[in-house]
Amino acid sequence: MEEIKTHSRIVVKKFGGTSVGSVERIEKVAERIYQDVQKGQRPILVASAMSGETNRLVSMAHQVDPRYRGEAYDMLLASGEQVSISLLAIALEKRGLKAAPLLAYQLGINTDSLHSQARILNINSEKLLGLVNNQMIPIVAGFQGVDSSNKITTLGRGGSDTTAVALAASIQADSCEIYTDVPAVFTADPRLIPKAKEIPTLNYDEMMEMASLGSKVLHFRCVELAAKYKIKIHLRSTFETREGTWILPEEKNMENPVVSAVTHEPLTAVIKLFPVPKGTKFIADLFSKLSENNVVIDIITQSYNEEGQRLAFSLPMSELEVAKDVLEKNYGGELGVSVLQDKAKISIIGVGMRNYSGVAYRFFKVLSDNGIDVELVTTSDIKVSAIVDKAHLQLAATSLHTEFGLDATN
Amino acid sequence: MEEIKTHSRIVVKKFGGTSVGSVERIEKVAERIYQDVQKGQRPILVASAMSGETNRLVSMAHQVDPRYRGEAYDMLLASGEQVSISLLAIALEKRGLKAAPLLAYQLGINTDSLHSQARILNINSEKLLGLVNNQMIPIVAGFQGVDSSNKITTLGRGGSDTTAVALAASIQADSCEIYTDVPAVFTADPRLIPKAKEIPTLNYDEMMEMASLGSKVLHFRCVELAAKYKIKIHLRSTFETREGTWILPEEKNMENPVVSAVTHEPLTAVIKLFPVPKGTKFIADLFSKLSENNVVIDIITQSYNEEGQRLAFSLPMSELEVAKDVLEKNYGGELGVSVLQDKAKISIIGVGMRNYSGVAYRFFKVLSDNGIDVELVTTSDIKVSAIVDKAHLQLAATSLHTEFGLDATN
């Protein structure tokens, strides 16, 4: 055993927006914490804004100025968590517990100054442990930080998960519980694939791929941070007591399934450019201009034959109009542009792929057997992704889920 | 002229809840500020929470625990102003102005630790002036402060007005504009007395009496603070540009009307006790017990004759049930208690009374001529108050308003 001082009785518990989405639910969370404390746990809580609240705040900001990002925007959004942690504190105090609601500046969650996507630099873990040792229950506002000028920052979408894992890392806890409205991570979205089943364990790489590939359960940065500090994440339901999915370091001798999950993103578009100037200069220039306009490019393919150079890339449907504007404004007339709408991305993920060959072959064979054409493809050592017609998404996902032995047996 | 450094071009402007009650109204406020800046003004803004927001937050807290007051309650309520100043900042930035939204901890509005009724100890005026000198527009969250442990405090009802006057005092400004949804202070509530007219100037003593006697326009502490630091208050409408009411130091040679205003409180009750133990010990004990239960006593009368000692006092209807409980629990059986409901308090206020005799006589004559009985009475050098039947309130107020020459002439 390594000589690390772990605070194993101290558990960081993060409650998502639906878990604190109403006064009644906040009461239920408080009751659960009360029971945990009776069993000897010493919890540190993190809460998101009440569900719907962040959207309400964003909508007001957008009504004033849809383009504004900066200090005031982060201050506005951070108010959501301030409300939920205050109410949770009152609910715990009502049960005779001593609660310490903490905003980022009060605890010392110090970040850089990149508003709306700030990174945590350090956390005042001594203050946190001091409170716990005084029998207090810290309730930390998720999603927010404070920069060196005492300005409020926010960590981006899913930021409360990142806060929770960062807190766990700062006090060298060995795990972090993420409470949400689903009981576990599933092998696929059960709304798309009714035979999807719960996954008891995943490792960090798989979870990061899933987060990148459209699974909304946990955000990439939170898992990345957990991997960096070896914090086990236990994702589980706020409304049930049974265990959910553990996200863990990869164990060498563990028998992993070849494929752990099938994920999808339904709202995808593809832009094809032909002919484009040869070489990488044009491509670098294009992607820089798209990036400046906040268009996120996903899969990119490039090919060259005697007819000329071709470029194709996929992007979220929501960013298609901006991307078309960028192309028109910067290269209008120079380029042949064709746009494919109503596409979807389908992916398979699994660390087991590293040890098995032929996974990509099976992936394409399944699609081919079902008469599904593939537009763009990308792979890594633990995933295969392809762009297909949105109309084929259900069939593609269902077939792949069955092919790789993920279907629930009951 | 005194050698005080005044920042006469710097104007503190406070916007109430209805003034920032929607995104549209926030835009209108921003437009008005933009015009002020074009004219060379250097504004410092203070905002209340959007109208309805504080009540929404209080209601959630009460659903969890109606009895809780403390750190989390203040943190919860302070989120309201955080939202309004952020949105106002975005609206100013959209117009090309540089806005600095400031929460209490960011500016340094330091208070004692009395949650929900904290008092401001000091304000970092250097920071405020530094921002203004850098062509920034500070937008300060009203109603909130921060104590020496970095915990959020709130200043009590109407606290944003207090914040505004305290800011003005801290930078030695000579005036403070309070923007609200009424155009001025009136000689009486126009809903009760249609002939009520606007008052162009009032002095601090009169405004403090009005605040104590049921006028909801400005809160007592705000006016008290303005009087202490000789800050002129200009109360005016957010939605019109004309001037409203100036609240000023009393000028010796000013010709004051005898009575400046008639005020009323419609929801009053009277409790009469007979017989009570002789002497002040019982009375002190009783009022201490009522105070512990947050019952605010208003007019008190005490009398003694051969039958025994009598005590009577008025209180808000909303606190009657609690007061009755306190009496029953502590003195049940010992005391004869009679309760008069549906009473109202009617008052006349004016510094001119100091120079004229016979004002009280005229007050009672008017009531008597109209057949209105009076239950309890209290006077000071600038006011006369009496408790009457609520059914007589309109008649009493109208008659007094006419008697003292306050009726509008058009």
| Rounded Cα–Cα distance for residues B14 and B96 (Å) | 21
Burial class (CB in 10 A: 0-12, 13-18, 19+), B410: exposed
| Rounded Cα–Cα distance for residues A83 and A50 (Å) | 8
Contact A75 B103 (CB under 8 A): yes
Q: Are A144 and A104 in contact (CB under 8 A)?
A: yes
Closest CA to B78 of B160, B133, B12, B23: B160
DSSP three-state, residue A260: coil
Nearest-by-Cβ selection for A23 from B64, B79, B86: B64
**What average pLDDT does the segment A202-215 reach?**
87
Provide the token pair at B154.
């709130």
DSSP secondary structure of B21-77: SSHHHHHHHHHHHHHHHHTT-EEEEEE-PPTTHHHHHHHHHHHH-TT--SHHHHHHH
Residue of B nearest to A96 (CA): B68
Q: Which residue has the tokens 């339904």?
A: A266
Q: Name the CA dihedral angle for A182, A188, A189, A191, rounded to a multiple of 10 degrees.
A: -110
Contact B64 A27 (CB under 8 A): yes
Q: What is the pLDDT of residues A326-342, one digit of tens each?
A: 999 998 877 889 999 99
Instruction: State yes or no: pLDDT of B217 exceeds 50.
Output: yes
What does the angle CA A150 – CA A153 – CA A157 come to, to the nearest 5 degrees?
165
Helices B53-64 & A23-38 angle (0-180, nearest 10)? 40
Contact B87 A151 (CB under 8 A): no
What is the DSSP pairing of strand B300-305 with strand A144-146? unpaired
Instruction: State yes or no: pLDDT of B3 exceeds 80.
Output: no
**Which helix (H) or strand (E) element contains residue B342?**
strand B337-349
Q: The sheet that has B42-47: what strands, in order across it?
A: B98-102, B136-141, B42-47, B10-15, B175-180, B232-237, B245-248, B201-203
Compute the count of residue pairs across chains A and B with CB atoms less than 8 Å apart.
111
Contacts of A356 (CB under 8 A, 6+ apart): A258
Contact A87 B65 (CB under 8 A): no
Is A26 within 8 Å of chain B by CB?
yes
Contacts of B75 in chain A (CB under 8 A): 82, 85-86, 89, 101, 103
Contact B65 A23 (CB under 8 A): no
Q: Are B350 and B202 in contact (CB under 8 A)?
A: no
Contact A101 B75 (CB under 8 A): yes
Contacts of B21 in chain A (CB under 8 A): none
DSSP three-state, residue A78: helix
Provide the token pair at A306.
């005697």
Domain ranges of chain A: 10-181, 261-403
How close A83 gets to chain B, by Cα (Å)? 5
Instruction: State yes or no: pLDDT of A44 exceeds 50.
Output: yes
Give the pLDDT confidence score for residue A253 in this predicted structure: 55
Question: B235 forms bridges with which residues in the sheet?
Answer: B178, B245
DSSP three-state, residue A309: strand
**What average pLDDT does the segment A59-65 reach?**
97
Cα–Cα separations (whole angstroms), residue B239 to A176, B179, B367: 52, 9, 38
Q: What is the pLDDT of residues A349-374, one digit of tens each?
A: 998 888 888 899 999 999 999 999 99
Chain A contacts in chain B segment 133-172 (CB below 8 A): 150-152
Q: What is the pLDDT of residues A241-297, one digit of tens each?
A: 999 999 999 876 566 788 999 999 999 999 999 888 887 888 889 999 998 888 888
Instruction: Encode A89-121 in three state secondary structure.
Output: HHHHHHCCCEEEEECHHHHCEEECCCCCCCCEE
Question: B146 forms bridges with which residues in the sheet?
Answer: B110, B152
Give the pLDDT confidence score for residue B212 in this predicted structure: 81
Contacts of A73 in chain B (CB under 8 A): 86, 90
Q: What percent of chain B has pLDDT over 90?
A: 77
The dihedrals phi and psi of B162, each to the nearest 5 degrees, come to -60, -45
Q: What is the pLDDT of residues B142-199, one digit of tens each?
A: 999 999 999 999 998 789 999 999 999 999 998 999 999 999 999 999 999 999 999 9
Contacts of A41 (CB under 8 A, 6+ apart): A9, A10, A11
Which of B25, B28, B63, B64 is the best mutation test for A, with the most CBs of A within 10 A? B64
Contacts of B62 in chain A (CB under 8 A): none
| Rounded Cα–Cα distance for residues A389 and A342 (Å) | 7
| Rounded Cα–Cα distance for residues B100 and A231 (Å) | 38
CATH number of B261-403: 3.30.2130.10
Give the pLDDT confidence score for residue B136 in this predicted structure: 97
Provide the token pair at A331.
């290269």
Is A130 within 8 Å of chain B by CB?
no
What does the angle CA B42 – CA B158 – CA B271 come to, to the nearest 5 degrees?
160
Q: Are B132 and B44 in contact (CB under 8 A)?
A: yes
Instruction: Encode B83-124 in three state secondary structure.
Output: HHHHHHHHHHHHCCCEEEEECHHHHCEEECCCCCCCCEEEEC
CATH superfamily assigned to domain A10-181: Acetylglutamate kinase-like (3.40.1160.10)
| Rounded Cα–Cα distance for residues A377 and A388 (Å) | 10
Give the pLDDT confidence score for residue A7 in this predicted structure: 52
**What average pLDDT does the segment B236-262 reach?**
87
Contacts of B27 in chain A (CB under 8 A): 64
Which of B74, B76, B97, B143 is the best mutation test for A, with the most CBs of A within 10 A? B76
Is A75 within 8 Å of chain B by CB?
yes
Handedness of CA B330, B332, B336, B340 (dihedral sign): positive
How close B90 gets to chain A, by Cα (Å)? 6
Give the pLDDT confidence score for residue B2 in this predicted structure: 37
Closest CA to A387 of A293, A285, A272, A237: A272
- The conformation of residue B186, written as its DSSP 8-state character, comes to B
Contact B90 A103 (CB under 8 A): no
User: In B379-396, which positions are buried (b, 16+ CB within 10 angstroms) versus exposed (e)?
Assistant: eeebbbbbbbbbebbebb
Model confidence at B252, pLDDT cuts 50, 70, 90, reads low
**What average pLDDT does the segment A26-44 reach?**
96
Provide the token pair at B38.
């074009």
Contacts of B87 in chain A (CB under 8 A): 60-61, 64, 72, 76
Nearest-by-Cβ selection for A73 from B60, B82, B90: B90
Q: Are A29 and A193 in contact (CB under 8 A)?
A: no
Is A68 within 8 Å of chain B by CB?
yes
Is B58 within 8 Å of chain A by CB?
no
Contact B82 A86 (CB under 8 A): no
Q: What is the pLDDT of residues A99-127, one digit of tens each?
A: 999 999 999 999 999 999 999 999 999 99
| Rounded Cα–Cα distance for residues A329 and A27 (Å) | 54
Nearest-by-Cβ selection for B68 from A83, A94, A151: A94
Q: Residue A44 is which amino acid?
A: I
Q: Are A38 and A95 in contact (CB under 8 A)?
A: no
Q: What percent of chain A has pLDDT over 70?
A: 97
Mean pLDDT of chain B: 92
DSSP three-state, residue A21: coil
| Rounded Cα–Cα distance for residues A79 and A141 (Å) | 9
Give the pLDDT confidence score for residue A55 in this predicted structure: 94
Closest CA to A160 of A53, A13, A33: A13
Q: Residue B56 is which amino acid?
A: R
What does chain A come to in residues?
A: 410
Is A114 within 8 Å of chain B by CB?
no
Instruction: State yes or no: pLDDT of B253 exceeds 60.
Output: no
Instruction: State yes or no: pLDDT of A3 exceeds 50.
Output: no
Give the pLDDT confidence score for residue B167 in this predicted structure: 97
Contact B64 A101 (CB under 8 A): no
| Rounded Cα–Cα distance for residues A343 and A265 (Å) | 9
Q: What is the pLDDT of residues A146-188, one digit of tens each?
A: 999 999 999 987 899 999 999 999 999 989 999 999 999 999 9
Closest CA to A152 of A191, A187, A188, A107: A107
- The conformation of residue B377, written as its DSSP 8-state character, comes to E
Residue of B nearest to A75 (CA): B86
Residue of B nearest to A60 (CA): B23
**Which helix (H) or strand (E) element contains residue B389?**
strand B383-389
| Rounded Cα–Cα distance for residues B79 and B56 (Å) | 11
Model confidence at B296, pLDDT cuts 50, 70, 90, reads confident
How close A393 gets to chain B, by Cα (Å)? 41
Is A60 within 8 Å of chain B by CB?
yes
Contact B65 A101 (CB under 8 A): no
Q: What is the pLDDT of residues A268-282, one digit of tens each?
A: 999 999 888 887 888
Q: Are A185 and A198 in contact (CB under 8 A)?
A: yes
